[in-house]
Structure 1
Amino acid sequence: MAYYASAEMGCHLALDWDPPNFILDLFSEFLCRTNGLKLLVRNNLLGALSIHGLEHIPLTKKKEMRELALRGGPYSDAEQADLLDYCQTDVDALVALLPEMAPKISIDYALIRVCYMKAVARMESVGIPIDLPLLKLLKRLQTN
């Protein structure tokens, strides 16, 4: 289970691991439920938790920890502990969110949607396939 599974799949690709056979991506399921609706929250994990009335870490704390993770190491012992605690908050959030969302999830369709997220991870890893000769032609035509 994940929220925005292409991130986890990107990690699997970077580590040259096979992807899990079955993944449930609550991000995709949240989008299916809310697309076209005017929401007062974003469609990220904190937004999904808010819509379902579930507690979550403050946005400022989430941003702070993401910046720390993106900064890269080396990390102090305290920073390592903070990052692990931060990751645990996402796990705990998914555990809380699943029972709220599960009754309206069609597993058959969810498994199809996650195939797309696997493809997104691949595109994020190696780039979007493109017809290079056609792209060059379009660029030439655009400049004329």
Structure 2
Amino acid sequence: MKRWMLIIFVAAALATQARIAHAHFGALIPSDDIVSQGEGRIVTLHAMFIHPMDNSYMQMEKPSRFGVLFRDKKIDLTGALREKKVGEFSTWTANYEIKRPGDYVFFVEPEPYWEPAEGRYIIHYTKVVVNAFGLERGWDAEVG
């Protein structure tokens, strides 16, 4: 009986141990996520591929799609992307001028990359919402 209790205790202890996540993610970081009256209306967006737990970057090729969804209208901003090197890695930035109240849903679709551990190509679809002038409408819109 004591042996089984020890086995159960060890199994439970191992199952509850915190694991370090070594995953990587696409990230889309705005310079400001709430634009208010009297502030600058230019938002800079920074698209990158990162290992957040290691605080490190990975190479990101130019995204195949980058844009904003505002009031049910998609605007292609791919042409506005500019490469920004962080060390040896490429990240991408773009500026966008906020003009009207509401939620601006910025999105990025990177090029697929090969993930050897999973034996397949992966695409990290990423979006971020920037609210303008207090009108919270459209934040939950699907980019599609």
TM-score scaled by length of structure 2: 0.23
> Comparing both structures, which one devotes a greater share of its residues to strand?
2
> Comparing both structures, which one devotes a greater share of its residues to helix?
1
Larger Rg: 2
Q: Which has the higher contact order (CA 8 A, sep 6+)?
A: 1
